Amino acid sequence: MEYEHDGHVPHIHPDAVVAPSAIISGDVTLGAGCRVLHGAVITAEGGAITIGENAIIMENAVIRAVASAPVHIGDHVLIGPGASVSGATIEDEVFLATGTRVFNGARIGARSEVRINAVVHLRTTLPDDSVVPIGWVAIGDPVQILPPHEHEQIAAAQRELDFPGFVFGVDRTTPDLMVQVTERYGHSLARHRDDKPVTLERHGRRQHHHRHDV
């Protein structure tokens, strides 16, 4: 299903195939040959999302952009089931495996692999041809690629990257941190109350341009 959000409607290439239970909302551009499978959510909440040609977005993946962090996904990218990408740049021919997490401001270089349940953290840059092993964490620029048991080193890097400040504009030391985060983010997300379904007629496409044979 496609939705108009903040006055923007998705632009889906006639050769793309989107499953009927997928959600595409707002300023999203989907290139030729793309496939978006059941349960996937692609939502542009103030920032644009551009997805190149022949990208595959598997079941229940989530791709989200905000005003401060648009999303760009290149050509021939595969995003696995249950993966999430928020406010990041994914270059061409990247593989994001099942359950991977890519956070705001990250950049993943061409031909890289982020394997099952691995994380590419906030403001992290992966060079071209990088590999993040199963369950590991890539963090920082220059990047450190760490196993999950290196939690103290990961935590130290996280503090420097300042997730609350970068994503929500809230000082980490604020006593009521989660009150501030949820109220600010909730105010922004309330814009979805005005979302409108996009019909084929309004969007100027014929039925055969929006096949559901995935």
Q: What is the mean pLDDT of each run of 10 residues along the chain (214 residues)?
A: 94 96 97 98 96 98 94 98 98 98 97 98 97 97 94 85 80 87 87 85 43 45
- pLDDT value for 200: 60
Biggest CA–CA distance in the chain, Å, is 55
Task: Give a yes or no: residue 173 inside a domain.
Answer: yes
Task: Give a yes or no: residue 39 inside a domain.
Answer: yes
- pLDDT value for 207: 38
Task: Give a yes or no: residue 148 inside a domain.
Answer: yes
Task: Give a yes or no: residue 199 inside a domain.
Answer: yes
Rounded Cα–Cα distance for residues 3 and 185 (Å): 20
- pLDDT value for 171: 83
Give the count of domains, the chain.
1
- pLDDT value for 162: 80
Task: Give a yes or no: residue 78 inside a domain.
Answer: yes
**Domain span including residue 35:** 2-203
CB neighbour burial string for 10-41, b if at least 16 within 10 angstroms, e if fewer: bbbeeebbbbeebbbbbbbbbbebbbbbebbb
Task: Give a yes or no: residue 212 inside a domain.
Answer: no
**pTM of the full structure:** 0.88
- pLDDT value for 211: 42
Question: For position 99, which CATH number holds?
Answer: 2.160.10.10
Task: Give a yes or no: residue 82 inside a domain.
Answer: yes
CB neighbour burial string for 119-136, b if at least 16 within 10 angstroms, e if fewer: bbbbbbbbeeebebeeeb
- pLDDT value for 101: 98
Task: Give a yes or no: residue 208 inside a domain.
Answer: no
Rounded Cα–Cα distance for residues 88 and 5 (Å): 20
Dihedral in degrees, nearest 10, Cα atoms 105, 111, 116, 122: -10
Give me the residue label for tokens 């359950």: 99
